[in-house]
Structure 1
Amino acid sequence: MNGEDTNEGARSPDAVLEGDGVTPGIVRVGDTVRRPVRPFSATVRAYLAHLHRAGFTGAPVPLGIDERGREVLSFVPGDVPREPLPARATGEEVLVALARLIRRLHDAAQGWEPPPDAVWGGLPGADTVDLPPVDRPAELVGHRDYCPGNVVFRHGRPVALIDFDLARPTTRLYDVVNALYWWVPLLDPRDRPPALVRADAPRRVAVFAEAYGLTDAQRADLVPLAARVIHRFHAGARAAARADPVFRRMWERGVRDRMPRAEAWIAAQGPAIAERLSGRPPL
């Protein structure tokens, strides 16, 4: 769950891009971003190159490796909201724009075959625990981490995605649920940003679903999948906290309380969300 601050005010020749501390060493150099190379970097670059060949412009362009051994990506101008989400980033028009952006990403990714030696990123500690499965067989490679720090806004609307470190083969619906978790959000009201404490979660899910164009089958599967995803988030966050000091700080600063509340909330509110989805409410 990494983020890069793409604030358009960062104009120094070699500016450190602030994020959540998960990936240190990310800097902006002119109109490029330089990042440390990780085991999955080549796979992600191949994916990003495919997206641009397929006409998707809402992601960084991979530009190779620099003389210091860092991967080079195009800088994506815009503003990245910080958590808690500010009120201006919580309107239904934002949900609609984000849903359509993700749909364009999925349509561009459909049919891409990862290289035979593909390596995928993941949270620290994930290989030390038996995380519950959530997905059906993969349909495409998706972003899988739509936290606010990874969504770039311009003129008040989401227009691009950054930080594809957790990209991997997945389903369209998993990616949608991941976005809903952050942007509805699928959280107990105590853990939402102030502007969304009283939000109508079933309506917000339905607005996103309509804008994305979910099928009837996807709508029927959404709530059960959301419950499994949130449970996996909980288990994965606990494992990451044991393995990495950055994630340990996140855990201690609230994740350990937020995740069990989110599991209880989706169990209680899931039926209302499912009912709203089945009715296809107008936007």
Structure 2
Amino acid sequence: MRIGDTVRRPLRPFSLTVQAYLGHLRDAGFTGAPVPLGVDGRGREVLSFVAGQVHRHPLPAQAAGQEVLAALARLIRALHEASAGWEPPPGAVWGGTPTDEGRVTERAELVSHRDYATGNVVFRDGLPAALIDFDLAKPTTRLYDIANALWYWAPFKWGDPRDRAPALADADIPHRVAVFADAYGMTARQRVELAPLAVDMAHRYYEGSRASAKLDPVFRRHWEDGGKDVLARAEAWLRETGPAITARLCRPG
């Protein structure tokens, strides 16, 4: 619920941990996230309202350009720089899907957003400027965070031609990935490891969604309404296209 320049949300087990993280981002000078404002008298968490525009899938033409990818990559890089070195408070609780129960990624490098779904990226003046909905934030790796962004924005999830938005029907996705990589400043190792990680991520998303569908009606509805088919096609497409993505990322110059 929006009240003035604030947003009020139900307090959940992970809310105070996420508020601590958002407070660190604020103190580190990162302006692309809500500011945490504590808990109100009705027991709701309070966040600053983030003004701007969000886009849903299928992405419209004005949100599908290469300049959007580059701006998103720079925004995520700034988030990573602000996040680096932050230690979660003792007893930190993280959110997650019904099947992961907040498990922390192995070899975590930093805490980050981890859910760059199109509706979580706020645009201003036609470009990504902020991120909202940090419910899935938790310790992770930079490369996983990059792969998650590309899942929605390259897009890996809708790489199969049958699932693409009209604005991306003829998109050169390996090239789009390279645009993001260059703007972020991905290392040589990250470029080599990205496509294999994306294949593994797609498989885990499929298996996790299938398991979640058995536990939660919301996930079940999404799964049965075509989610299972899109995820299966995404994994198959990534397995086929992964070598081309790696080749493009590692091309000299």
| Letter in structure 2 aligned against 1:37 | L
Cα offset, 1:125, TM superposition = 3.1
Structure 2: runs of 5+ lacking an equivalent: none
Give the corresponding residue for 2:107: 137
Task: Give the Cα–Cα distance (whole angstroms) in 2 for the partners of residues 243 and 126 of structure 1.
Answer: 12
Distance 1:64 1:280, change over 3 A: farther
1:222 counterpart = 2:194: yes
| Letter in structure 2 aligned against 1:155 | D
Give the corresponding residue for 1:239: 211
Give the corresponding residue for 1:198: 170
1:59-78 maps to which residues of 2 (within 5 A)?
A: 59-78=33-52
Matched position secondary structure for 1:243: coil
Task: Give the Cα–Cα distance (whole angstroms) in 2 for the partners of residues 37 and 125 of structure 1.
Answer: 21
1:29-56: CA deviations, max 9, x gaps? 1100000011000100000000010010
Distance 1:280 1:141, change over 3 A: farther
1:59-94: CA deviations, max 9, x gaps? 000001111100000000000101211111000000
| Letter in structure 2 aligned against 1:248 | R
1:15-54 maps to which residues of 2 (within 5 A)?
A: 27-54=1-28
What is the total number of aligned residue pairs between the two structures?
Answer: 250
TM-score by length of 2: 0.96
1:150 counterpart = 2:120: yes
Task: Give the Cα–Cα distance (whole angstroms) in 1 for the partners of residues 216 and 106 of structure 2.
Answer: 29
Structure 1: runs of 5+ lacking an equivalent: 1-26
Distance 1:222 1:136, change over 3 A: farther
Residue number among 161, 181, 187 corresponding to 2:151 in the alignment = 181
1:164 counterpart = 2:104: no
Matched position secondary structure for 2:59: coil
Runs (4+) of structure 1 exceeding 2 A deviation are none
Matched position secondary structure for 2:123: strand
Cα offset, 1:126, TM superposition = 3.0
Task: Give the Cα–Cα distance (whole angstroms) in 2 for the partners of residues 145 and 76 of structure 1.
Answer: 17
Task: Give the Cα–Cα distance (whole angstroms) in 2 for the partners of residues 52 and 126 of structure 1.
Answer: 28
Give the corresponding residue for 1:103: 77
Task: Give the Cα–Cα distance (whole angstroms) in 1 for the partners of residues 160 and 106 of structure 2.
Answer: 27
Task: Give the Cα–Cα distance (whole angstroms) in 2 for the partners of residues 279 and 221 of structure 1.
Answer: 14
Task: Give the Cα–Cα distance (whole angstroms) in 2 for the partners of residues 147 and 259 of structure 1.
Answer: 15
| Letter in structure 2 aligned against 1:34 | R
Matched position secondary structure for 2:214: helix
CA RMSD of aligned residues (A): 1.4
Task: Give the Cα–Cα distance (whole angstroms) in 2 for the partners of residues 115 and 184 of structure 1.
Answer: 34
Task: Give the Cα–Cα distance (whole angstroms) in 1 for the partners of residues 186 and 46 of structure 2.
Answer: 35
